[in-house]
Structure 1
Amino acid sequence: MARVELELPEAFFYSTEIEVRFTDLNPAGHLGNDQMISLISDARYSFFCDMKLDDTSIGGAVVTVTDLVTTYRAESFASEKLKFEVGLTDFNKYGADVIFRITKNQGETLVALAKTGFVFVDPTTGKVCPIPEAFIDALPEDYRP
């Protein structure tokens, strides 16, 4: 079976650390894939907050996740601090991909790579809409599409 290959951004411009809780473990005793998805969502939320954006309303539009890909490289256990480095790739008229590099041991061990695709949706029509200028303006200049 072919493995999914994720294209990493040229640079990650945001990072956050999240500690793995005991309740994040699966019956095998390591971080469960369902909980990893929750941690990725937390990291994405933190990223948007750092840009001073509320993903429930950016320029009148809401962020809607369109897909998720995660490739696992190592296990993670309770009390480990995971570093989530965040970047953006594949901008299009309606959205982009948020890319995550997740490591432990001060970046020495790659735990996972992930991406969440997203689009902006006009809540009044329920239809996809162009990326709001407020989002573009919140990005560092060298990351703007």
Structure 2
Amino acid sequence: MSDDFTSLPYSDLVRVRFSDTDAQGHLYFANYLVYADEVVGHYMEELGFSAMDPARAPCFIFTVNLSCSYLDECRAFDTVRVCVGYSRLGNSSADVSFELYHDASGTLLARGSFTQVFTDKHTRKSTPIPEAFRQAIIARQQGAGDCGGAA
């Protein structure tokens, strides 16, 4: 069973810290992924999945694949809008899409995706996506507006 979506209905702002930049003075490439992961975690919490507290979560989630296209740079102290959403729900895996925008200008900085596999806490083998979480994702993603850059 698979559900596919195209919207990025959740977003949050992140201010680029100086320590997040590299020697060239722009955001270090791996931190784009850190920002996306943090905002996805907030989205999951809003949908009722305790991603930030493994003791409360019904299962673990492993990231097994990711891609990111870097389209423009951002620098220390810029504010970035990170937009996220689920693009596919399978039985035990889900694809998350993300886009990062310079908040003031709306310039698209990066876009990408990663695949999550839901796993049993004890066996660490794949397990179905918890039904309540699946239904919360479907309800939020269907007909949701797109983040689309500057607020």
TM-score norm. by structure 2 comes to 0.81
**Whole-Å Cα distance in 2 between the matches of residues 108 and 142 of structure 1?**
24
Structure-1 residue corresponding to 2:63? 65
| Structure 1 segments (4+ residues) deviating >6 Å | none
Task: Give the partner amino acid of 1:102.
Answer: L
**Whole-Å Cα distance in 2 between the matches of residues 137 and 105 of structure 1?**
31
Structure-1 residue corresponding to 2:10? 14
**Whole-Å Cα distance in 2 between the matches of residues 42 and 102 of structure 1?**
12
SS in 1 for 2:82: strand
**Whole-Å Cα distance in 1 between the matches of residues 46 and 104 of structure 2?**
22
For the aligned residue pairs, the C-alpha RMSD in angstroms reads 2.0
Task: Give the partner amino acid of 2:119.
Answer: V
Deviations along 1:38-84, whole A, 9 cap, x unmatched? 212211212112223212354x2111111111100000001111101
Any unmatched runs of 5+ in structure 2? 143-151
Any unmatched runs of 5+ in structure 1? 1-8
Structure-1 residue corresponding to 2:81? 83
TM-score norm. by structure 1 comes to 0.84
Contact 2:9 2:140 in 1 (8 A): no
Contact 1:83 1:107 in 2 (8 A): no
Deviations along 1:94-136, whole A, 9 cap, x unmatched? 1211110110144620000021210100011111011111211
**Whole-Å Cα distance in 1 between the matches of residues 25 and 127 of structure 2?**
43
Structure-1 residue corresponding to 2:21? 25
Tell me whether 1:101 sits opposite 2:99 in the alignment. yes
**Whole-Å Cα distance in 2 between the matches of residues 67 and 52 of structure 1?**
24
Count of matched residue positions in the alignment of Structure 1 and Structure 2:
136
How far residue 37 of structure 1 moved from its aligned partner, in angstroms, is: 2.1
How far residue 20 of structure 1 moved from its aligned partner, in angstroms, is: 0.4
